Structure 1
């Protein structure tokens, strides 16, 4: 890594990007919990003091990597959903396209997936500025559900939620508003869909289904279709 830098904003940004790239390359071997500024400095041929000019603490570096991972995965889903929506696809096709995009990102970059959805790093607490990037994935799902509701594509639940809403105000705000009858529990169902999506990917990325599933892609599509039915969206499977 070239250390002959000036302090212009562009070069500082470039140096930060190079440090993140070095740190990302270390994640498969060290894991997020083992990542340190010392390790990044050694791998990049730098001093720790040089790394600290951009990332004063290990947690600052982890936060930057988390934000990048959330933004990259969220952007992949957004682009896939936008392309499907622009083609006039129904909600089920949009949902499958977005889910497939997240799967493609996860399988291609398992270290970033593990950073976001793996075991928490002891002692690390994600700051508030990670919240907007982290919200991009559920926001895509919420947007598809809301579109299905507005277009009349959403199927009423066969087993409505018995009792008051189980969601926090933040979840309702992400969806836009509390939905009307008979779809008052669609946000709860959307959270089930979201958690199921991440769980499916965790099983694949962490090799939990490789000894029981012979076609990971087909199984993923089937599982998303089954979960989507619970949220009121039909995904046609060829």
Structure 2
């Protein structure tokens, strides 16, 4: 049973509000300097708190990063589920992914950018990431596929740890992996500004990659 705000004590509500503000300040800091430069002491100073006082709300940098990563993955998982609707569609998921990434590029890079040195996400966070992939795999299973098996199909049939045990056939595994790698490749370059000054519309490049994937 989910506890509502009205069922919480004033102290619990205050603690939740302070934790929410700490996360907001952390996201602002990451937007300027990146996740690797996250400083709890700097956040405490912005909030008019001492460093030790802030550590009563988050035990350390890794716990705060975990909360931010968990929030990001959960947001994308919810976005994917809403886009999937009653009939999973890889194209709908692709457009949902791009919209989610453009809405908050730093949130995107927090989970799909360069890993934060020394940080390792706990199992419950990686489980949410697996939920996201499961929605894509469901869509790729539902989409028709044809053509002969490839060496990658044969490899993925026995190397599916990344798919978290999803029972998708090898062809669907290959299609999901192609979607994930190629679309993230375009998005990462776009959001990092590598297309700036090149004179073309990244949205059209993304659409062309998606069309090629759908035709395959």
Query: What is the TM-score of this pair, normalised by structure 1?
Result: 0.78
Query: Match of 2:32?
Result: 29
Deviation track 1:78-115 (CA, whole Å, cap 9, x = no partner) reads 211217x3xxxxx6xx2222111111111121111111
**Range that drifts further, 43-52 or 60-69:** 43-52
Distance change (3 Å), C-alpha of 1:163 and 1:207: closer
Distance change (3 Å), C-alpha of 1:38 and 1:130: same
Deviation track 1:156-176 (CA, whole Å, cap 9, x = no partner) reads 13562378433534345543x
Secondary structure of the structure 2 residue equivalent to 1:120: coil
Query: Match of 2:188?
Result: 202
Secondary structure of the structure 2 residue equivalent to 1:126: coil
Structure 2 unaligned runs (5+)?
A: 1-8
The partner residue of 2:99 within 104, 119, 127 is: 104
Secondary structure of the structure 2 residue equivalent to 1:75: helix
Deviation track 1:159-207 (CA, whole Å, cap 9, x = no partner) reads 62378433534345543x252xxxx333133212211121111011011
Structure with the higher fraction of residues in helix conformation: 2
Distance change (3 Å), C-alpha of 1:158 and 1:21: same
- Deviation beyond 6 Å, 4+ runs, structure 1: none
Task: Work out the number of aligned pairs and report it.
Answer: 207
Query: Match of 1:157?
Result: 147
Higher RCO by CA contacts (8 Å cutoff, separation 6 or greater) = 1
Distance in 1 between residues matched to 2:198 and 2:206, nearest whole Å: 13
RMSD: 2.3
Structure 1 unaligned runs (5+)?
A: 86-90, 149-153, 231-238
Query: What is the TM-score of this pair, normalised by structure 2?
Result: 0.85
Distance in 1 between residues matched to 2:117 and 2:152, nearest whole Å: 38
Matched, 1:170 2:161: yes
Matched, 1:82 2:85: yes
Secondary structure of the structure 1 residue equivalent to 2:57: coil
Query: Match of 1:216?
Result: 202
Secondary structure of the structure 2 residue equivalent to 1:211: coil
